[in-house]
Structure 1
Amino acid sequence: MWFSKGSPLLAVLCFASAILPVESKRILQSTSLNICQENSGFTASLFSVIYNPTTNKASVNITALSTIEAKVEFDVDISAYGYSFLHLVVKPCDLGLAGFCPMISGKLGHPFDLEVPDASSKIPSIAYDFPDLDAKVRIRINATDGPQAGQTVACVEALVSNGQTVDLIGVKWASAIVAGLALASSAFLSGLGHTNAASHVAANALSLVGYFQAQAMIGLMGIPLPPVVQAWTQDFQWSMGIIEVPFMQRIFTWYQRSTGGTASNIIEKSDYSIVSVEVQKRAVDLFKRGTAMLPNSVLEHGSKLMKRANVMTSYGSYIVYGIQRVAFRADIETTNLFLTAIIFFYLIMVVTTLCVVAFKGICELAAKQKWMKGDTFLEFRNGWRTVLKGILFRMALVGHPPVTILCLWEFTQNDSSALMVVAVFFLIAVNAVLAWAAYKVVRIARRSVALHRNPAYILFSDPQTLNKWGFLYIQFRASAYYFIIPVLGYTVVKAVFIAFAQNAPIVQAIAFLLIEAAALIASAVLRPWMDKKTNSFNIAIAVVNFLNAIFLLIFTKVFDQPGIVTGVVGVVLWILNAVCTLVLLLMLIITTVIVIFQSNPDGRYKFMSDDRTSFMKSQSQLATSTELDALGVTARGEKPGYSSGLDLDDDGDSNPRDSLFRGQSSIANSTANNSHHAPSHFAPAHSPIDPINRTASPYNGSISSVSRSQNSSSPAGFKPPASPR
C-alpha cells in the first residue's frame, strides 16, 4: 500500500512535512463540490465541509439543486495522491438527513453536522500535516428504489485540504528581497569601479530572476496541476507583477468599467460564500462538462467562452484554470490581472528612476560637504544619465516575459477597449526597445571585429557602450554577444504558447518540452556565459526547466498513467525546485556578501579569456598599473581622458566630449600634472591590432583618421622608447 509503513514515499513526505510549520488545529476541509459524470442529477453552487478528527464530525454547508426523487445511498471513496485508502457506504436514512431520505427534487440548502464514525482511525496522520494535500472525496449517489434502482444517478467530487500550504508570504518576500539586493549590489559595485565583480553578481542575479519567472510560468499554463505545484508556483508570481494590493484593485475595477468593460466578481462572491470556485487540476474535460451543462442561450456564445479561461456553469459554480487560476489564488479579479502586472512594471521603472536620481543627489551633496572623497562614484556622477538608461533597459529585460505574456493574453480576453490599447502599446514598446538594443549590440560588436579583430574591444572599453547596452551582453563571453537574440526569442515563443494555448494543455506541454530541450542543448553546447561558474549556474537552471517540462507533460495525462503517478510527480517537482531554489539563493547570497566585503572584489574572479578585463576600467587594474600606461598614452599622441570615438552608438551619448568623458579627463589631467608617473586609468584601451599596420586594413576609410590621430606629434621633449628587440 502507498501509505503503508516502510514506504519510501511515506518517509519522504514525513520528512518534508516535519520541516514545515504545522498548525495546532488539525482539520480537513473542502470548499467546492464538482460534478464527475454527465447528466448528474445533483449539483451544488456552494459546498463547504470542515472535518474535525477530535470529534469525528463534519460541519456541512451546502446549496444544491436536485432532480432525483428516490431513496438513495452514498458510495464514498476517499483518496490521496491518486491512491484510494478509504471506502464506505453511507445511508442517509440511517443518519436522518432531511431532504435526503428520500431525496427530493428541488433546491436543497441548509447547514448540518454529519457524524463520521471511525474515520479518524482510517485517515493517515500525515494527511493533516503535509502541505497542499492532493486528496479528494468522490461520492456516487446510487438509487435504491424506483425506475433507476441500482443505477448511479449523480456523482460529485470534493477536493480536500488541511489548511497547510507552501504558498507562503515569507517565501515570496525572501526570494524578492534577495534578487533585488543582488541587483542593487551589482550596481553599487559598478559605481565603485569594480566592473568585473559587478558583472558576475548581476549575471547570477538576472539568471535567478529568470528562473523565478520560469517557475511562475508553470502556474500560468492551462495544464492541470496538482495542488502543491499550484501553491509552489504561486510563490513566484511576484516576478510577473502579479501582486494583490486592495486599493489598487478597486482602482483597476473602476478603470475597466469606465472604459466599457465588464469586471468579474468571482473573488467578491467567493469571499462572501455565495458560490463555489472549482480550481481545475486534472483535465480539460472539467471545462467541457461545465459548458455541456450550460443552457442553449449561453452556448450560442460558446466561442467567446472558449476564449475566456473562467466559465460559469449552469448550476452557478465557476471553473478557473491557467492564467485565471493564478489570478484567483492571488485574490485578484481575473479582469484586473493584466492591468495589475502592467502597472507594477511601470511603477518599478518609475521607482528605479527616482532612486537613481536621489542617489545622484546624495552623492553630489556628500562630495560637496566632504563626507566622501571627491572621486568616489565619479563615473556615475558624471554619466548618471547613461547609467540610468542602462538600468531602465535592464528593468525592461526583466519585465519582458510578464509584459509579453499578459499583453498577448489580453488580446484573447478583450476586457475593455482601453486595456486593448494598453496591451498593444506595451507589447510593441518593450519588444521594440529590446530588439533595437540587441541590434545596436550586434552592430557595435561587428564593427569592433572589423576594426580590432575582437568584439570585446569596443563593447567593453567604451564606458558609454558598457553602461547603456552592457545589460544585454555583459553576462556572456565577448564572442557570444549575439546570444541575447535567441534569449529574447525564447521568451517570446514561450509567451505565445502560454497566452494563446490556454485551452490546449497538451499543445502547451509538448511545445514547452521542445523549447526547454532546445534551450538546454544550446546552453550545454555553446556555453555562452562569461566563465565556467556562470555557465554551470545557468546550465543547472536549464536542466531543471527541462525536467519541469517533462513533468508538465505527465500532468496532462497524455500517457494515461495511474493517479498515484501524477500525485507523486507533483511532489517530486515541488521538492526538486525547492531544493534548486534554496541552493541558488544560498550561492547568490554567499557570493554577493563575500564580494562586497572584500577589499579587492575584482580579485575574486579570474580574468576571462575574451580579454574584456584588459579593456574594462577596474579598480584592481588601476591599483596594479604602472607609468607605462601614461607613456603609452603619450606615445600615441593622445590626451588623457580622450575617447577614441569608435563607439557606434550614434546618439548624443556617444559623443566623446560628453560630460562623462569631460569628468574623467579632468581627473586624469589633474593626476598627470601631479606626477608624470601616475597611471592613466582613463586612457583608451589598447587595440589588439598594431596601430602601424592598421592602414593596411581593408577598412581604410574608417581607420585612416584614427591612425593619423594616433601618429600625431607628441609633446615637446618626449621621445618614444625604442621597441625591444
Structure 2
Amino acid sequence: MFFSVARLRLPLLALAFFQISSTQARERSLFTSSVSYCAPPESLLVQQFDIAYIEKNSSVSFNVSIASVIRNTNVTANLLVNVYGMQPLNLTLELCSVFGGALCPLPTYNFTGSDSITLPPSVRDQVTSKIPGIAYQIPDLEAFAQLTLTDSSSGKLRACIQSTLSNGWSARQMAVEWSTGGIGLLAFLSAVWHSYIPHSLAPIRLLDVMFLFQAIAVSGLWSLNYPLVYQAFTQNFSWALGLFPVSNDSPMQRSIDHMRQLTGGKFENAGGGSAISLVNRRISPYNQPAARSFIARAVDGATAADVPQTASNSSLAGSNFLVGGDVVTVTQNSPNVLQAGLPIYVTSVGIDTPNAFMTIFLTNLIILVICVAALGLGYLCLLALRRTSWAKQREDKLDSAIAAYPTFARAWGLRIVLIILTPVLVFTFYQWTLKDSWLSILLSVILLLAIAAALGFALYTLYRRRSDPDISSHHSSIEPLVAPYRPQRFYYGSIVLLAMFVKALVTAFAKGQGKVQAILILVVEGLFFGVLVVMKPHRTRGADVFAGYLSLTRTACTGLTIAFSQSLALAPIPRVVIGIVIAVIFSISVVVMFLNIVYNLVLWIWARGRSRKEGTTVLPSRASSSAASVENGQDKKDEEKLPTASVTPASSSHFYARPGNPAPSHTPTTASWRSPPLSAVSQMSERPSQYSGTTASSTLGETLPRRWSFQHSRPPSGSVESSHATLSYVTSPSAPVSMYTNPRHSRQPSSPSDRYSQEADSHIR
C-alpha cells in the first residue's frame, strides 16, 4: 500500500543535514511537473496540463487546454497513479455513464479552462486517506499519473497522457550549488595565497577538493536506474565538471546547435523540455511495467491509419505551455528518449547530450584564457613593482621572484590541467561514441592532444629526475604531481593519473551497461585503495589517513551504486533509501574536506599573528627549533638559515620532510669529566661531516636541542668502550629539525645521517 512510503522517514532525517530547506512557509501540495504523450496523440491533443492538489483547503487547481479531434468516438478512461511502484489509485470509468452522457461520444471541440475547486467532504476524506503526510515532504517524489482513453468498441488506444507529480522539494538546491562552489573558491584562493611557500598543503587540498566534487558528479553519469533524489544530489556538483546550469535557449547553446547543424550533426535537440518527460520509461520515475505493457499492446494493435503522423501536433508548436514546453511523445521506440546516465544528467542541467562536449570545451577555453591573463598580469605587476622605490630595499627578493615566476606559472598550468582532466576525458570519449559533428570530434582530438602533451612533459621531467633526493623542491614546475608524496614514492602521481584515465574510459565507452560500469569502477577504486594502504605514499601518516578516508568513501559509494542496476530490478523504496545513504556519505566527506581547509587556514593565520607578535619575520612552523643554540654575537642571517620545523599535514598548512638530527651552529664537545674512548674518537675523525671533534670548551649550561642527549655507559662488560660515557649526537646540516612528535617519522631513515646515528649508538653501547 501507499503507506509503505512511511519507511522513508528515517533516511529523510539523515538527508536533512545537507538538504537546505527554505525558510519561508511552503504549502503542502502535489502538482504536475512534466507532461508527455505515452502514445502518439490521436483523439486528444494536449496544449496545457497543469493540475495541483492543495492539502490545506482540500482544493484542486487546474489550468488545462485540450482539443478533441475525432468524431463519434466512445471511449473508456483509465486513471492510474503510481507512487514508488505502488498504485494507490487505479480507476476505470465508462464516460458514457458519467455527466449524463455528455462525453459520449467524445465531443470534438477545444476545452480550455482554469479554476480552483474545493472537493466535497466525501471525496476529500477518500483522497486524504490515500495520501500520507510524508508525500508532501519527501524530496524528489517519484510519482506519476497516467490517463488512457481506449475505444469502447475496438479496444484501440485513442490517447495516453503521463504527468509526473512533485511536491516542490528536491535535493538539488541553488544554495547547495553555491555552497560547494564557495568551498572550491576558498580552496583556490588559499592555494594561490600559499603558492609561494615550499611544500604548502593548500595547493594540494585544492586538487583534493576538486577531485572529490568531480567524483560525486561523475557517479551520476553511469547508466544506472538512479532514484531521483540521488540524481538531483549529484547535479549540485555539475559545475565541477564545467557544466553550469543554463537554459536550453542560452546564447552558448544556440551557437553550439548552429555549429553542429553546419558540420554534420545528426542528433535532434531536446527542445528545452523537462528531462523527466523524455526519460526511458523503464527507469525512474516510471516504475510500472504493467502499465507499460498495456500501452505497448494497445499501440501495437492500432493500424497505420489510426496512428497520426508527427505533423499531427504541429499546431501545438506555437503554443506557450506552463509545464515542460512542447508536449512530446515518448514511447518504447521513440528516437528522442533519454537513456539512463549521462544523457539524463546533462539534459537536467539544460544542455543537450550532443552539446555536452562543446560546452566543456568552451568552458575550459574560458578558464584557460582567464588563467593566462591572470598569470601574465601577475608577471607585469612584479616588473612594475621592480621599478618602484619600495623595491630598492628588497631588490634581491624581487629578482628571485621574477626569475622563479616562469616555474611558478608552469606549476599552476599543470594544476589546472589536472583539475579539468576528468571532465575532458569523459566527455571527449563520449563524443567519439556519438559520431556527431566532425568539427566537435576534431576539437576533442586537439584538446586531448594538448592535455596529453602537458602531462607527458611533466611525467618525462618526473622520471628523468627521479634520482633527486627531493624532486618537488628542485623541480617546482611538476610540484602538483610530486609534492604530496615522499621522494621514495615519486611515481605515485602516475598511478593517480592512470586511475582517472581508466574510470573515464569505462564511463564513456561502457554506456548503456550500468552494472558493468559500476563493477569495473569498483574494481579500480578497490585496487587504488589497496595500493594506497600498501605503499603509504604521503609524507606523513596523517596525510595517508586522510587520503585513505577519501578513497574508502569513493569505494563504498561505488559499491552501493550497483544496487541501481536495471537488471537487479530492486524495488523503488529500497533504491531511494540507498540513494539517500550514498548522498549522506558523500555529504559527510564534503563537510570533512571543508573543515580541513578552514582548520588549516585558521591555523596558518594564527601562526602568522603569533610570529608577528613575537617580532619575528617567519612563521613559528618555519622557525628553527635549534635557534637557542646559536652562539652569542652570531649574525642573524645565520639563524634564518637554520632548518625548518616539521609539521603534519593534518594540523598545518605545510608539508615538510621527515626530521633528521640537528645541525649545531658551533662545535660541541663531549662531557669534560670523562674522555671519549679511543675507538670512538677514531670513528668520529673518519666521518667529520657526521661527528664533531672534542675541544676544550663544553656545552654544559647551554640549551641543547631535544635530540641531543647524554647516554651513560652500561655496567662493565670487558670492553674498554663500554666503560665510558660519552655525549652521543649526530649532525645533519641538510635535515630539518622536528619540533613535534610524529610516529610516522620512524618508518625509515630520511637521510644517511640516521644510519650513521644508529651505528654510533650501537658502537657506544
TM exceeding 0.5:
yes
Q: CA RMSD in A?
A: 4.7
Structure 1 position 103, deviation (Å): 5.9
Equivalent position of 1:411 in the other structure: 432
- Counterpart of 1:29 in 2: which secondary structure? strand
Quote how far apart the aligned CAs of 1:468 are: 0.6
Q: 1:202-601 to 2 correspondence within 5 Å?
A: 202-244=203-245, 246-261=250-265, 264-268=268-272, 270=273, 277-280=277-280, 282-283=282-283, 313=330, 318-321=336-339, 322-366=341-385, 368-370=387-389, 374=394, 379-445=400-466, 447-448=467-468, 457-462=469-474, 465=475, 467-599=476-608, 600=619
* Structure 2 CA distance for partners of 1:345 and 1:122, relative to 1, 3 Å: same
Q: Distance in 1 between matches of 2:150 and 2:542?
A: 63
SS of equivalent to 2:465: helix
Please say if residues 99 and 108 of structure 1, whose CA atoms lie closer than 8 Å, have aligned partners that are also in contact. no
1:186–1:86 distance in 2 versus 1, CA, 3 Å: same
1:163 equivalent in alignment to 2:168 = yes
* Distance 1:362-1:280 versus aligned 2 partners, 3 A rule: farther
The letter for the 2-side match of 1:59 is F
Structure 2: which 5+ runs fail to align?
A: 310-327, 609-618, 623-644, 668-687, 690-732, 736-749, 757-765
Task: Give the direction of change, closer, same or farther, for the CA distance of 1:415–1:126 in structure 2 (3 Å limit).
Answer: same
Task: Give the CA deviation at 1:571.
Answer: 2.1
The 3 A distance-change label for structure 1 pair 391 and 101 is farther
Instruction: Tell me whether 1:56 sits opposite 2:56 in the alignment.
Output: no
Could you report, residue by residue, the CA deviation over 1:415-458 in whole angstroms, capped at 9, with x for unpaired residues? Answer: 3221111011112221342133223212311x33xxxxxxxx14
Distance in 2, matches of 1:73 and 1:134, equals 23
- Counterpart in the other structure of 1:645: none
Q: Distance in 2 between matches of 1:412 and 1:506?
A: 19
Give, in angstroms, the shift of residue 235 of structure 1: 1.1
Name the CA shift for 1:174/1:114 in 2 (closer, same or farther; >3 Å).
closer
State the distance in 2 between where 1:598 and 1:203 align.
20
Aligned partner of residue 490 in structure 2, secondary structure = helix
User: 1:232-266 CA distances to partner (integer Å, 9 max, x unpaired)?
Assistant: 11111111111256333333333333434357442
1:220 counterpart SS class: coil
Letter in 1 for 2:411: G
Residue 31 of structure 2 corresponds to residue 29 of structure 1: yes
- Tell me the alpha carbon deviations over residues 440-497 of structure 1, each in whole angstroms, 9 at most, x when there is no partner: 212311x33xxxxxxxx140341xx1x2111111122222221222211211211122
- Secondary structure of the 1:211 match is helix
Q: Which residue of 2 aligns with 1:185?
A: 190
Distance 1:561 1:366, change over 3 A: same
CA contact (8 A) 2:2 2:131 kept: no
Q: Distance in 2 between the 1:434 and 1:427 partners?
A: 11
* In 2: Cα distance, 1:558 partner to 1:263 partner: 28
Deviations along 1:365-421, whole A, 9 cap, x unmatched?
A: 445435577266664432211211111111111111111111111112233221111
Q: Which residue of 2 aligns with 1:128?
A: 136
Structure 2 distance, partners of 1:42, 1:14, is 46
Give 1:71 shift. 4.0
Q: Is the 8 A contact 2:31 2:52 kept in 1?
A: yes
Q: Compare CA radii of gyration and give the structure with the larger one.
A: 2
* Aligned counterparts of 1:602 and 1:253: Cα–Cα separation in 2: 55
* Pairwise CA distance, 1:362: 2.7
Measure the CA separation in 1 of the matches of 2:734 and 2:535: 37
Cα 1:547/1:59, change in 2 over 3 Å: farther
1:82–1:567 CA contact under 8 A, matched in 2? no
Greater helix proportion: 1
> 2:12 aligns to what?
13
Distance in 2 of aligned mates of 1:124 and 1:264: 41
Q: Note closer, same or farther for the CA distance 1:563–1:51 as it changes in structure 2 (3 Å cut).
A: same
SS in 2 for 1:349: helix
Q: Does structure 2 retain, via aligned residues, the 8 Å contact 1:172–1:236?
A: yes
Contact 1:31 1:47 in 2 (8 A): no
Asked if the contact 2:542/2:648 (under 8 Å) is kept, the reply is no
Aligned to 2:139, the other structure's residue is in SS state: coil
Measured after TM superposition, the shift of residue 99 of structure 1 is 9.5
Matches within 5 A, 1:647-658: none
Distance 1:251 1:186, change over 3 A: same
Indicate conservation of the 8 Å contact 2:425/2:504, yes or no. Answer: yes
Q: For structure 1, which runs of at least 5 residues remain unmatched after alignment?
A: 299-310, 449-456, 629-634, 637-678, 682-686, 694-725
Distance 1:280 1:480 in 2: 47
Looking at structure 2, the residues matched to 475 and 64 of structure 1 have their Cα atoms a distance apart, in angstroms, of 66
Give SS of 2:219's match: helix
What is the identity percentage for the equivalent residue pairs of Structure 1 and Structure 2? Answer: 22
Paired residues, number: 595
Q: Partner of 1:57: helix, strand, or coil? A: strand
Deviations 1:640-699 (A, max 9, x none): xxxxxxxxxxxxxxxxxxxxxxxxxxxxxxxxxxxxxxx999xxxxx9569xx9xxxxxx
Which residue identity does 1:606 align to in structure 2? V
CA distance 1:223–1:559, shift in 2 (3 Å)? closer
Report the counterpart of residue 174 of structure 1 in structure 2.
Answer: 179
* Cα separation, 2, equivalents of 1:239 and 1:174: 13
Quote the offset at 1:52 in angstroms. 3.0
Q: Is the 8 A contact 1:142 1:154 kept in 2?
A: yes
Q: Is the 8 A contact 1:166 1:231 kept in 2?
A: yes
Residues 1:260 and 1:86: Cα distance change in structure 2 (over 3 Å): closer
Measure the CA separation in 2 of the matches of 1:57 and 1:522: 60
Note if contact 1:51-1:58 (Cα within 8 Å) is conserved in structure 2: yes
Structure-2 separation of matches of 1:161 and 1:231? 13
Shift of 1:227: 1.3
After TM superposition, the score normalised by the length of structure 2 is: 0.66
Cα distance in structure 1, aligned partners of 2:420 and 2:276 = 34
Q: Is the 8 A contact 1:83 1:564 kept in 2?
A: no
